[in-house]
Amino acid sequence: MVFDAALKISLLSRVMSDQKETKIIEFPLHGNVQIGFIGVYENHPNLPFEVKRVFWTVQTPEEILRGRHAHRQTEQILIALQGIIRVTTESPDGRVEIFTLDHPSKGLYVPPNSWHTMQYHNNAIQLVLASTAYDEADYIRDYANYKSYYGGK
Question: Which residues form the catalytic set?
Answer: 69
The span from the CA of 97 to the CA of 101, in Å, is: 13
Closest CA to 80 of 103, 111, 46: 103
Backbone angles phi, psi at 101, to 5 degrees: -100, 115
The span from the CA of 126 to the CA of 8, in Å, is: 35
The span from the CA of 85 to the CA of 88, in Å, is: 10
CB 38 within 8 A of CB 28: no
Which element (helix H / strand E) includes 2?
helix 2-18
